[in-house]
Chains A and B, each alone.
Chain A
């Protein structure tokens, strides 16, 4: 019994030393040993092999038939006016004045059925459908037995993911968070010298790097010269809470958010000791002016770190960018847009908050193969003369969507939970009624 314990302890010690040497030290000092690259190439080869197996089994003629959206129908892209001209032309002129008949409704009936069959918004809040299979049952809806070899590889994958990778990642994540709390509190105790800022940045980045290793995240940063500078506002598209870890891996930002209780609260309070973040009490969040004022003060102080904001307001499944809320674009500082695009081959990073809780989501992340993503820093944008906040927001959104290869949608991310505003509904009604009544008045004698 004693031997068993001492052996276990020895094993644990070795495990920890290995961890520190191979993962934490590089993380702390920012160099890479190349282990993850090897891991990635092995992974890609295995996944390609698995996919080919499936293809052979189902005897498909394989040609690349990828569709950008899950299109179920082919739509007519004509506008309201064009359709109506056609409708009016194709029926005989009525003897009596009045230009409205039942056939005018056809345009709306067909449009309505088309929306029921396939609409742009609902599909953005479910996970993306993959063309390859990445050996995770969660992404393949038609999983069935194909061959012994494939199942063996899949089983091996499960063992590797759950028994080797997951505990490793959980350990790393815990270490990372603990170190963050301790480190920032320690730095907070120092008086206000120059070195304090430098140390606080270093502690933050180091801890986020450890957390990123804890998720096996391979991040490719592009255009680093456009990185957000002090006194600016950084905006990005939002896919999951992990976006924060990703962005903070490469620079220090001031976060904006609500103070939570529990573990999150402890982390938040520790972080604010070493450098100023903008945390709000729950009651303060409702007061828009107060929020705007605090953010504006932060932005105008050029020594403070750039704020990180996600203007979509909610997590979207990384195939599109939804409406940006205009609040962050009214603050006055320069905007640094950042586009984040996850590679779905290795793991699905979208957080479907109605389906999974935060803990479930983190466990899912830690048991997927890896997280590969691209981050593009775009050049700074300023609000131009005669441009209001909404137009500015749309301009930034279009830039991010183009860079990340995402679809640029006008819809509000809040539609995940709520309904369309009445003002939008009435627009179509007004358009139609002006057409009918306008014609009527010109026809009546």
Chain B
């Protein structure tokens, strides 16, 4: 497929890519392409900072860009046991975050698919749980709603009302025996999974990475 090409041109890069491929599940071509993109975004340096991502014009239109950019710099998404946020990321961390958006492979067992789904849900959960206390509180939820709507149009009270209604819905699904005066702490990861149980994640949380390596294309003889 072209893996041999890669190994011929840069043998030590190939070793590194193999390592990444094992960890993240991307193919070697995809890693090569993503590396080129990384260099484009990072202005040919070794790390990407938040500004590099904020400078992407198409991303600027996205109301949830702060959460998305934050996810790249969040240590929880690196599958190590650390928490906190970092200022700049290298290519490996970039790949780790991207790997959450891989579609499930055709040859995956049910268990692997379940595990992948849980991983994606965990990623989403981390994006909302900004203070990392294990729950999404009303305030954190409301913040997301506010970002999504433009403040001019509906005002802060309406955003609060929508957030409260949604939280109520979650509470009623997960803790049906709660009394009217009980305080609902926040959405835990289990509740989160419960809410999104029926939702088909496979087509929503996926980016279809292509396998084609654009730089090694050559013209054939004739057209």
Contact = CB atoms under 8 A, between A and B. Distances in A.
Contacts of A420: 57, 60-61
Nearest to B48: A116
A255 to B, nearest CB: 31
A396 B29 CA distance: 40
The interface size bin for chain A is: 35 or more
Interface string B191-214: 010011011100011111110101
Contacts of B172: 95-96
A126 B60 contact: no
A429 B205 contact: no
B195 to A, nearest CB: 7
A62 B128 contact: no
A81 interface: no
Interface stretch (A101-109, A151-159, A191-199, A357-365): A101-109
A428 B61 contact: yes
Interface string A76-98: 00000000000100111011111
Contacts of A51: 218-219
B206 A110 contact: yes
A427 B153 CA distance: 11
B79 interface: no
Contacts of B54: 419
B45 interface: no
Given A96-B168, A131-B219, A109 B127 contact: yes
Contacts of B198: 90-92
A64 B148 contact: no
Contact of A437 (B101, B158, B210, B212): B158
Contacts of A391: none
Contacts of A90: 198-200
B5 A111 contact: no
Which of A74, A87, A102: most chain B CB closer than 10 A? A102
Interface in A35-54: 51, 54
Contacts of B205: 106, 109-110
A1 B92 CA distance: 64
B33 A116 contact: no
Interface in A139-168: 141-142, 144
Interface string A212-246: 00000000000000000000000000000000000
Interface residues of B, number: 68
B154 interface: yes
Chain B interface helix/strand/loop/mixed: helix
A132 B219 contact: yes
A433 interface: yes
Nearest to A421: B60
B33 A72 contact: yes
B5 A58 contact: yes
Interface string A394-433: 0000000000000000010001000110001111111011
B105 to A, nearest CB: 16
B126 to A, nearest CB: 12
A353 interface: no
Which of B68, B101, B127: most chain A CB closer than 10 A? B68
A164 B67 CA distance: 57
B63 A432 contact: yes
A416 to B, nearest CB: 10
A412 to B, nearest CB: 8
Interface stretch (B34-42, B111-119, B177-185): B34-42
A224 B168 CA distance: 71
Given A64-B220, A71-B212, A114-B207, 18 more contacts: A73-B209, A98-B165, A100-B166, A102-B144, A103-B204, A106-B204, A108-B62, A109-B64, A109-B127, A110-B205, A110-B206, A115-B62, A118-B37, A131-B218, A419-B57, A426-B150, A433-B149, A436-B148
15 contacts: A54-B218, A60-B5, A67-B214, A67-B217, A87-B204, A96-B172, A98-B168, A102-B144, A110-B206, A113-B207, A117-B98, A119-B58, A122-B41, A419-B60, A420-B57
Interface of B: 5, 8-9, 33-34, 36-37, 40-41, 53-65, 67-68, 98, 101, 124, 127-128, 141, 144-145, 148-150, 152-154, 158, 162, 165-166, 168-169, 172, 192, 195-196, 198-200, 204-210, 212, 214-221, 223
The 4 closest A-B pairs by CB, nearest first: A98-B165, A433-B149, A429-B150, A112-B68
